[in-house]
């Protein structure tokens, strides 16, 4: 009988509970679909510096073993959780120092959510594509400029190194690992049992209305423009109209919009329209034609094209997934 594959879940004080328990549930669910009497497919171990009970940001605690010696990690899958405690863990440095030695020895070494910061601190992700929670992509890139931080992937792989986006994306990553180990049919059975998608609609993208319309600085010039646009999204609007409202030349408007929002005025308008359309779809609006008219897209074709380009899903698929 095959020896169970060991999965090490690395946590620290104030870790995100689901970053550890989500992947654990995916791997544990595999055994439900194996032949009766078969040996467990995975051996799960929670590890942390010092071991013992480790308190999560939710207040619940997990019992952890001390960090194993780097050579003991060989052949294992090592996943580093994220959470509010990442900053303190980085300051203490003991996890990063351990990862420098242990990470390369793992058969697979990955992160969930902001756990990518610890792998980056250990120097394991340089020149590699990396993903983390969308709220922290800019910070990760700024702190570790040699990383190739991706903006909207659920998870990525480069050789034996993996990273996944926010919280539940760690479960998407682990489903892909199960598929690597045991094939698509078993991975699909696990996904069905957990009421998950084996492949989310939209492929690898993190799609969320909060990703679309970036927040303008409250004391900046663009907040006034954002407020003005949100009241007029169903109207036909041009960049010249925005510049006139702001009493700026189009060139000055472009400069302010890029500096404060990171996008062009036309892109900002598109993002605001997508945000409003997403809200209408989440609220149960059944007519795509009305959604298109109320958000300035004009037609279902334009609405669909914008959704597919920005989010990788059609408006109908978005509504099916997120309608309250």
**Residues paired with 155 in a beta bridge:** 164
Q: What is the pLDDT of residue 78?
A: 98
Residue ranges and CATH numbers for the domains of the chain are 5-193 (3.40.50.880), 211-322 (1.10.10.60)
Over residues 202-214, the mean pLDDT reads: 50
Q: What is the pTM of this model?
A: 0.69
Sign of CA dihedral 21, 136, 13, 147: positive
**pLDDT bracket for residue 222 (50, 70, 90):** confident
**Residues paired with 162 in a beta bridge:** 110, 157
Q: Give Cα separations from 181 to 77, 177, 178, 257 (angstroms).
A: 11, 6, 5, 47
Over residues 85-104, the mean pLDDT reads: 97
Q: What is the pLDDT of residue 204?
A: 46
Q: What is the pLDDT of residue 203?
A: 47
Q: How far apart are CA 216 and CA 234, in angstroms?
A: 21
Q: What is the pLDDT of residue 3?
A: 87
Structure-model confidence comparison of residues 17 and 198, the more confident one: 17
Structure token pair of residue 192: 């069905």
Structure token pair of residue 21: 């328990």
Q: What is the pLDDT of residue 17?
A: 96
Q: What is the pLDDT of residue 192?
A: 81
| Structure confidence by residue, pLDDT tens digits, 264-317 | 999 899 989 988 898 888 787 668 999 999 999 999 999 999 988 877 678 887
């Amino acid at each position: 009988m095959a020896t169970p594959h060991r999965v090490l879940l690395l946590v620290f004080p104030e870790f995100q509970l689901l970053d550890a328990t989500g992947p654990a549930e995916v791997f544990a669910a595999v055994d439900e679909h194996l032949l009766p009497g078969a040996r467990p497919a995975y051996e799960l171990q929670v590890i942390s510096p010092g071991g013992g009970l480790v308190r999560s940001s939710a207040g619940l605690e997990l019992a952890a073993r001390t960090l194993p010696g780097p050579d003991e990690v060989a052949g294992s899958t090592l996943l580093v959780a994220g959470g509010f405690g990442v900053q303190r863990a980085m300051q203490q440095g003991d996890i990063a120092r351990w990862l420098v030695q242990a990470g390369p020895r793992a058969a697979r070494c990955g992160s969930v959510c902001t756990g990518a910061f610890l792998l980056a601190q250990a120097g394991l992700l340089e020149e590699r594509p990396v993903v983390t929670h969308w709220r922290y992509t800019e910070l990760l890139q700024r702190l570790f400029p040699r990383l190739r931080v991706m903006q909207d992937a659920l998870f990525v792989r480069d050789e034996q190194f993996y990273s996944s986006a926010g919280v539940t994306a760690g479960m998407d990553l682990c489903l892909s690992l199960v598929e690597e180990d045991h094939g698509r049919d078993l991975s699909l059975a696990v996904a069905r049992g957990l009421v998950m998608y084996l492949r989310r609609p939209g492929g690898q993208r993190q799609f969320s209305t909060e990703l679309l319309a970036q927040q303008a600085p409250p004391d900046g010039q663009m907040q006034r423009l954002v407020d003005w646009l949100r009241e007029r999204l169903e109207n036909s609007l041009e960049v010249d109209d925005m510049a006139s409202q702001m009493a700026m030349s189009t060139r000055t408007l472009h400069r302010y919009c890029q500096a404060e929002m990171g996008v062009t005025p036309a892109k900002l308008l598109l993002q605001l329209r997508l945000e409003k359309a997403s809200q209408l779809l989440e609220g149960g609006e059944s007519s795509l034609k009305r959604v298109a008219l109320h958000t300035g897209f004009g037609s279902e074709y334009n609405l669909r094209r914008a959704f597919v380009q920005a989010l990788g899903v059609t408006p109908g698929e978005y509504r099916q997934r997120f309608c309250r």
